[in-house]
């Protein structure tokens, strides 16, 4: 699992006073740090609402889509700065406005204040995290120790270890080979059945009987050596050095990797009436499009 740590400074309450012909207008931008997205024909709206009092903050980004928000580069990161947007602050007489956005037929609401900042900009930071669910943090899968996770591919199947559910290509999932038995992030105590100094999750022949683990199957070959057991007292044949069935494997099991995008937005240069806000942390995106799975087909060799 690739882990990235960010320090984000949230603005929970901003009170802005504006003088207009002697009147004082107070804006309390007290919203949660989570926002949502609504995609139109050619524009994207980022928004958040709250009740009691009923208010909304929204950002209109022209000629932009949700896909643009998660279009990360090769380094799994997207950074956009000073993108021109229109920022809205609205208040309502209605008790609840939670269903105001993204409806085919929007709710009819009574807007009591509509403040627009036409010349605002936003900064977008999107980071992709890919998790193969193998129980090993990605930074620990830098076998070469060069800081580049993409060139560590123990089984040469075309999938780097940090995205590979079966790092050694033995058709036994890494998570099932006890790479970190006590979940302390220290792999020095990883399971090593044949005590050859190579942990099972990186060992092509776990029991050291001369037959690769992936080939220790019965006649009902299913690319899963864990269910081939000759001696119940010992366990699967691939962990039993006394059994050396050899039925050559013909393919690897397919891989499913979880992908999640952390999208954060900051709004700059907000001008509402006579008031101005230099920078407002808008929050993180909550949307089903920020989570997905990817099926990878390893190259058999």
39 and 111 in a common domain: yes
How many CB atoms within 10 Å of residue 282? 25
Candidates 26, 31, 24, 34; CA nearest to 52 is 31
* Domain match, 175 and 265 both: no
Q: Same structural domain for residues 78 and 114?
A: yes
Alpha-carbon span 20 to 108, nearest angstrom: 30
- Average pLDDT, integer, range 13-18: 46
Give the count of beta carbons closer than 10 Å to the beta carbon of residue 60.
18
Measured CA to CA in angstroms, residue 261 lies from 40, 69, 220, 289 at distances of 21, 9, 40, 8
Average pLDDT over residues 116-122: 96
* pLDDT cut 90: percent of the chain above it: 78
Q: Is residue 298 domain-resident? A: no
Whether residues 206 and 163 share a domain: the answer is yes
Q: Which residue has the tokens 């609840």?
A: 96
Enumerate the β-bridge partners of residue 46: 37, 59
Residues 6+ apart with CB under 8 A from 22: none
- Please report whether residue 295 resides in a domain: no
**Which of 17 and 107 is assigned the larger pLDDT?**
107
- Same structural domain, 35 and 93: yes
CA angle 58, 289, 94 (to 5 degrees): 35
Q: What is the pLDDT, as a whole number, of residue 20? A: 47
pLDDT digits (tens, 9 = 90+) for 222-244: 999 999 999 999 999 999 999 99
Nearest CA to 176 among 156, 206, 198, 216?
206
Question: If you search the block for the tokens 């009574």, which residue do you land on?
Answer: 110
Q: Are strands 23-28 and 15-20 parallel, antiparallel or unpaired?
A: antiparallel
When computed from its CA atoms, the radius of gyration of the chain, rounded to whole angstroms, is 27
Which of 42-51, 102-111, 135-144, 148-157 is least confident?
102-111
Amino acid 96: pLDDT: 82
31 within a domain of the structure (yes/no): yes
Is residue 301 one of the residues assigned to a domain?
A: no
**Structural domain tally of the chain?**
2
CA 266 to chain centre: 20
Whether the predicted pLDDT of 11 surpasses 60: no
In a domain, 152, yes or no: yes
Residue 51, number of CB atoms within 10 A of its CB = 12
SS3 92: strand
Ramachandran class of 195: left when φ > 0, alpha when ψ lies in -120 to 50, beta otherwise: left
Residue 104 to residues 168, 254, 275, Cα–Cα distance (Å): 50, 39, 34
Torsion over CA: 73, 163, 134, 293 (sign): positive
**Structure tokens of 10?**
């949230």
Q: Are residues 250 and 141 in the same domain?
A: yes
Residues 183 and 153 placed together within one structural domain of the fold: yes
Give yes or no for residue 13 having a pLDDT over 60. no
Cβ atoms of residues 120 and 271 within 8 Å: yes
**Does residue 89 share a domain with residue 63?**
yes
- Asked if 38 and 47 count as a contact pair (C-beta separation under 8 A), the reply is yes
55's enclosing H/E stretch is: strand 55-62
Residues 107 and 146 in one domain: no
What CA–CA distance (Å, rounded) separates 120 from 250? 58
Tokens 């139109």 sit on residue: 40
Is the same domain home to 266 and 216?
A: no
Q: Is 8 part of a structural domain of the chain?
A: no
Q: State whether 90 and 187 are in the same domain.
A: no
Q: In which domain, by residue range, is 203 found?
A: 137-256
Are 71 and 88 members of one domain?
yes
pLDDT of residue 232: 94
pLDDT in tens, 21-38: 444 445 667 899 999 999
Q: Does the residue 97 lie in any domain?
A: yes
Does a structural domain hold residue 9? no
């Amino acid at each position: 699992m690739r882990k990235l740590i960010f320090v984000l400074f949230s603005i929970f309450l901003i009170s802005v006073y504006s003088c207009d012909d002697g009147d004082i207008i107070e804006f309390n931008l007290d919203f949660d740090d989570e926002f949502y997205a609504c995609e139109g024909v050619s524009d994207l709206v980022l928004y958040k609402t709250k009740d009691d009092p009923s208010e909304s903050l929204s950002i209109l980004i022209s000629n932009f889509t949700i896909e643009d928000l998660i279009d990360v580069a090769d380094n799994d990161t997207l950074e956009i700065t000073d993108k021109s947007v229109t920022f809205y602050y609205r208040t309502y007489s209605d008790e609840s406005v939670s269903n105001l956005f993204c409806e085919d037929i929007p709710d009819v609401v009574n807007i009591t204040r509509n403040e627009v900042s036409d010349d605002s900009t936003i900064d977008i930071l999107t980071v992709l995290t890919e998790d193969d669910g193998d129980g090993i943090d990605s930074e620990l899968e830098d076998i070469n120790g060069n800081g580049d996770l993409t060139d560590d591919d123990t089984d040469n199947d075309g999938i780097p270890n940090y995205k590979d559910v079966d790092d050694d290509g033995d058709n036994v999932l890494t998570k099932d080979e006890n790479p970190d038995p006590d979940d302390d992030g220290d792999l020095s105590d990883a399971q090593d059945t044949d005590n050859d100094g190579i942990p099972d999750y990186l060992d092509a022949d776990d029991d050291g009987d001369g037959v690769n683990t992936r080939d220790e199957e019965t006649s009902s070959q299913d690319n899963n050596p864990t269910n081939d057991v000759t001696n119940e007292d010992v366990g699967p044949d691939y962990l039993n050095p006394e059994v050396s069935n050899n039925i050559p494997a013909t393919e690897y099991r397919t891989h499913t990797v979880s992908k999640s995008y952390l999208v954060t937005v900051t709004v700059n240069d907000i001008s509402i009436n006579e008031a101005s806000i230099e920078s407002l942390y808008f929050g993180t995106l909550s949307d089903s499009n920020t989570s997905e799975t990817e099926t990878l087909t390893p190259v058999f060799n």
